[in-house]
Structures are given as structure tokens and as C-alpha cells.
Amino acid sequence: MPISLLEVYNLLPRTNCKKCETICMGFAAKLISREAKPEDCPLLLEPVYKTNLEKLRILCPSTEKELTGLIIEDDKCTGCGICVVVCEENRMNEDVIYGKGGRYNDELVLRVEGGKVRLVDATKCKRAFDPPEFCRACVDHCPTGAIELVSSS
Ligand code: SF4
Ligand code: SF4
Ligand code: SF4
């Protein structure tokens, strides 16, 4: 069944604060078209919207989540970079092995930017391979539980 714009809108904080660079109705449309992910609304990361965020993650999964089953929770990430180093696909890049984080995004799966880790290219994650490889190294080594695995595969 197609997702209704109103259904998504009703799960948003509806303040029209524009912290997501549009108003809530515009953000709802972006979620449906996958141009945005629920975490791009900073208000949804507040504890009071926890249930709404969970519902939106199910209704409008991000492309990264669909490909890998991984969700990074910005509010828990300290930017320590452990996940960047333990990811075998990231370690194909020599810079990562030497602790430099990697110069080019097109050679990386994960990278720390502005103090938070980002899934730079979900297609390079082992979990997005065809057939997928079972890997959860980043999830298991994150000291703050900032990477969540929402798929059982
Ligand atoms: S940041 Fe959230 S609450 Fe603010 S306008 Fe965007 S969707 Fe609405
Ligand atoms: S699941 Fe594995 S391959 Fe994918 S980002 Fe995490 S450590 Fe890297
Ligand atoms: S997701 Fe976890 S391991 Fe990765 S940088 Fe953030 S806190 Fe560190």
C-alpha cells in the first residue's frame, strides 16, 4: 500500500522550524521520495519523539538502511572512529590503515565528518553485496551503541 503524505506528516513534530531546510509537509514529501531520512529532522532525535522516529524508520526506511540494515544514531556517536577502522571494506583503503581516515569518499564505506560518523557509500558495505555478506563489525565494536542493526540478515 502506498504511504500517505498525511500519515508521514502526522508523525513529524509539525513545528515548521525549517531546521531540515523546509517545512514539515515538505520534509514529509522528501521522506517519501527518499531524498531525506527521518534522522535529518533534529527534533525527531529528542526522546519525546522516540516512538514517532521508530514508526517513520519503518514507514520510510533510508536507502542506506534498505541496503545494509544499519542505522547510525548521531546523538550517540562520539566520532571516535573505531567503526571506521574495524570495517574491512574501509581497510582496503591504505589511508585508513594508517589512521588518516581516507582522502577520497569514493574509496570509503564509513568516515567521520564534523565529529559524527557517516555511511559514505552504503553500496560498499559487505551487507549490500549480492549475495550479502554477514558482517556486523562496526555494530559490535562501537563503544556507545550508536550503530544499530535493524535487519536480521
Ligand atoms: S526539522 Fe522537523 S520539525 Fe522542523 S520543519 Fe523539518 S520536519 Fe518539521
Ligand atoms: S557492516 Fe561491516 S562492511 Fe558494513 S560498514 Fe559495518 S563493518 Fe563495514
Ligand atoms: S558510530 Fe560508534 S564507533 Fe563509530 S565513530 Fe561513532 S561512536 Fe565511534
pLDDT band at 153 (very low <50, low <70, confident <90, very high): very low
Which residue of 11, 18, 24 sits with most ligand 1 atoms within 8 Å of its CB, as the best mutation to test the pocket? 24
Which domains are seen in the chain, by residue range?
Answer: 1-60 (1.10.15.40), 64-153 (3.30.70.20)
pTM of the full structure: 0.63
pLDDT at 46 over 80: yes
pLDDT recorded at residue 99: 64
Of the candidate ranges 105-109, 111-115, 142-146, the one whose mean pLDDT is the lowest: 105-109
- Report the atom number in ligand 3 closest to the C-alpha of 86: 3
Kindly give the distance from the C-alpha atom of residue 20 to the centroid of ligand 2, in angstroms, as a whole number. Answer: 28
Q: Which residue's alpha carbon is at the smallest distance from atom 4 of ligand 1? A: 17
DSSP string, the chain: -PPPHHHHHHTS------TTSS-HHHHHHHHHTTSS-GGGSGGGGSGGGHHHHHHHHHHS--HHHHHH-EEE-TTT-----HHHHH-TTGGGSHHHHTTS--S-GGG-SEEEETTEEEES-GGGSGGGSSSPP---HHHHH-TT--EEE----
Return d(Cα 120, Cα 105) in angstroms, integer: 7
pLDDT at 94 over 80: no
pLDDT at 12 over 80: yes
On average, the pLDDT of the chain sits at: 86
Q: Which residue's alpha carbon is at the smallest distance from atom 5 of ligand 2? A: 125
pLDDT recorded at residue 20: 94
- Report the atom number in ligand 3 closest to the C-alpha of 78: 7
Q: Bigger pLDDT: 40 or 24?
A: 24
Which residue of 16, 35, 56 sits with most ligand 1 atoms within 8 Å of its CB, as the best mutation to test the pocket? 16
Ligand 3: which residues within 6 Å by Cβ? 72, 77-83, 112, 117, 142, 144, 146-147
- Nearest CA to 145 out of 100, 99, 82 is that of 82
